[in-house]
């Protein structure tokens, strides 16, 4: 049973529109602020949490949000509301229609995410994380993973935003999700020896694991997800070189990935700024005629490294596209139409190729 029901009014300010998803410690909803429009609301499952405790949990998130970096999600409000389970704390943040990087990755179906797109996403994540790592003392995220990176489009194109700053350290970051896949798989080797060893270099490991996943559809050390007892021995087996899984990955990009995934933290990039420097220098190599179709994959379920994912029926997604098109023709509804189209694209892979350019036009205010 969900904590909130559709139509519920919270603090005389927010109307719950619909349930978006959940993790082990919170549920997420799309809500409508009476003045400011759509936002996302995260409601903690912990009953009886106080405003003071919420403020402690969100301290780093609020600090970074005030900096106003475009690649860090903004937190707007925090409060308490009545639910069927009792009083629960919540906070509101930017609503990103496209959802998480996990959904974006899966939406490419049997194809790899284009290399240029994957690298651009990681550049943006590094830019946001650099702001945190440059703080004195550094702010460490501790739970960088595709589920905590939100992906959407704005007038300039694709935009990544890091979410959930300040939350991971309040609970065990290895058990944030009901499923171990998606969290343990992005923790650095040293975290399995000492839960207090999180560092900027640990965040870098998670960045490297995320980039490896986006480019190869596999995890660098997949055995972690299947282990009942957390051990570091699973890192003794060398990871498969990325270019063997995706021939389009060139030597320079592979070196960046492998440096981020060095077993010893002192051999990795020491922080996000260092990794960003190499990602900014990287440029994709021109493709030869024989390589142009190497992005194709055989088998729809290639996106299973983080567990199975139930796809929305294609007819439902196509219906969302139809409704988005109708909305786009109504005065003042273009951004709402773009939100709906973006959701549809992430629910059915075949729609991305067909409608991505149209979505970019809508985000720029252009209707054709």
Long-range contacts of 338-342 (CB under 8 A, 24+ apart): 338/97, 338/153, 338/362, 338/363, 339/38, 339/97, 340/97, 342/97, 342/98, 342/152, 342/153
Cα angle vertex 241, ends 122, 306, to 5°?
60
Structure tokens at 124: 């943006």
Tokens at 139, concatenated = 């702010």
Helix (H) / strand (E) element for 154: namely strand 149-154
Active-site option among 77, 102, 143, 154: 143
- 82 prior amide bond cis, ω within 30: no
- Separation between Cα atoms, residue 212 and residue 241, nearest integer Å: 10
Catalytic annotation present for 278: no
Q: Which residue has the tokens 């992906």?
A: 151
Residues known to be catalytic: 143
């Amino acid at each position: 049973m969900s904590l909130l029901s559709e139509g519920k009014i919270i603090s005389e300010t927010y109307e719950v529109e619909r349930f978006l998803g959940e993790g082990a410690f919170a549920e997420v909803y799309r809500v409508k602020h009476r003045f400011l429009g759509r936002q996302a609301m995260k409601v903690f499952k912990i009953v009886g949490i106080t405003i003071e405790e919420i403020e402690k949990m969100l301290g780093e998130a609020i600090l970074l949000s005030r900096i106003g970096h475009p690649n860090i999600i903004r937190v707007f409000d925090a409060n308490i509301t009545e639910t069927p389970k009792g009083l629960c704390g919540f906070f509101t943040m930017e609503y990103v229609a496209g959802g998480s990087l996990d959904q974006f990755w899966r939406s490419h179906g049997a194809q790899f995410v284009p290399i240029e797109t994957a690298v651009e996403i990681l550049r943006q994540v590094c830019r946001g994380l650099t702001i945190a790592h440059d703080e004195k003392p550094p702010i460490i995220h501790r739970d960088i993973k595709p589920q905590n990176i939100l992906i959407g489009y704005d007038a300039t194109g694709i935009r990544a935003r890091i979410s959930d700053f300040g939350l991971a350290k309040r609970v065990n970051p290895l058990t944030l999700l009901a499923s171990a896949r998606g969290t343990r798989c992005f923790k650095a080797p040293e975290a399995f020896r000492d839960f207090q060893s999180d560092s900027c270099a640990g965040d870098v490991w998670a960045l490297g694991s995320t980039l490896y996943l986006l480019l190869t559809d596999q995890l660098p050390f997949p055995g972690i997800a299947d282990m009942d007892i957390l051990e570091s021995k699973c890192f003794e087996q060398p990871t498969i070189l990325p270019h063997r899984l995706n021939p389009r990955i060139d030597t320079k990009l592979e070196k960046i990935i492998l440096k981020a995934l060095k077993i010893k933290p002192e051999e990795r990039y020491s922080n996000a700024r260092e990794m960003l420097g190499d990602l900014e220098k990287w440029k994709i190599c021109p493709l030869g005629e024989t390589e142009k179709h190497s992005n194709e994959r055989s088998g729809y379920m290639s996106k299973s490294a983080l567990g199975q994912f139930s796809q929305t029926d294609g007819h439902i997604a196509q219906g969302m596209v139809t409704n988005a098109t109708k909305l786009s023709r109504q005065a003042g509804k273009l951004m709402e139409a773009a939100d709906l189209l973006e959701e549809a694209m992430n629910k059915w892979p075949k729609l991305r190729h067909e409608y991505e350019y149209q979505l970019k036009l809508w985000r720029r205010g252009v209707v054709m």
